[in-house]
Amino acid sequence: MGIKDFVITSAGQIYENLKIKRNNKQKISKLQRELSRKTKGSSNRNKSRIKLAKLYEKLNNKKEYYLHSIANQLLSENQTIVIEDLNVKGMLKNHKLAGSIQELSLYRFKEILKYKAEWYDREVIEVDKWFPSSKLCGVCGYKNQELTLKDRSWTCPECGSSHDRDLNSATNIKQEGQRIKEIGMSLPELTPLESKSLDPHRIRKSKIELIQLI
């Protein structure tokens, strides 16, 4: 999930960010100006208020329909969906991106996906928000510590693989989800290569001992 494109799957399928409110910014601003010019308590002001409310409702319904349609398609094509648990609160602290992030309705999308998954008997796995999905090479597991938000593509210095940032991230999220499903726990600090070297039976035993201590 991202800002440039709303959802990118490991199969390369892209669901665009509709930017509904931004694309209707002029309409919203016009109605807001009309409302502010009307006398408080007048019938004309009430009419302007209703017009603005109806526009917001229309835009919200359009976005809600889009979120439901994406969730329906993903769940109809897959038994298991792996998503990243984004640090939305942390992302909102970036004032340049805060408006775009709020418009995405990431929490609402995850909410829809999860309750529909229960209806259709599907599984949703969340990867830890600190898992470095963008920084890992999906081929060899090399961790690119120099990667920044501006970098939309990069080449792995270890194996030479060229990566689209979002598609590579989706691939790594899928691989991490498969590992979590097999082992039963999330280890965000480990790369895929380090994770594969772990003994699942040993981890399960540690989890049982931890539960007994609690």
- pLDDT block averages, 10 residues each, the chain of length 214: 84 88 89 89 90 93 94 93 79 66 81 93 90 89 87 89 91 91 62 46 39 36
In sequence order, what DSSP letters do the residues of 87-101 get, joined into one string? -HHHHHT-TTTHHHH
Residue 129: per-residue pLDDT: 84
pLDDT tens digits, one per residue of 158-183? 898 999 999 999 999 999 998 888 87
Q: Which residues contact 168 (CB under 8 A, 6 or more apart)?
A: 134, 136, 137, 138
Position of tokens 């691939």?
171
pTM equals 0.76
Q: What is the pLDDT of residue 154?
A: 87
* Cα-based torsion angle of the residue sequence 160, 146, 138, 189 in order, rounded to the nearest 10 degrees: 140
| pLDDT one-digit tens code per residue, 186-210 | 555 554 444 444 444 444 444 333 3
Contact criterion met (CB below 8 Å) for 82 and 125: yes
User: What's 188's DSSP letter?
Assistant: T
In angstroms, the CA 168 to CA 133 distance is 8
8 A C-beta contact, residue 82 and residue 176: yes
Count CB-CB contacts under 10 A for residue 188: 13
State the pLDDT at residue 206: 40
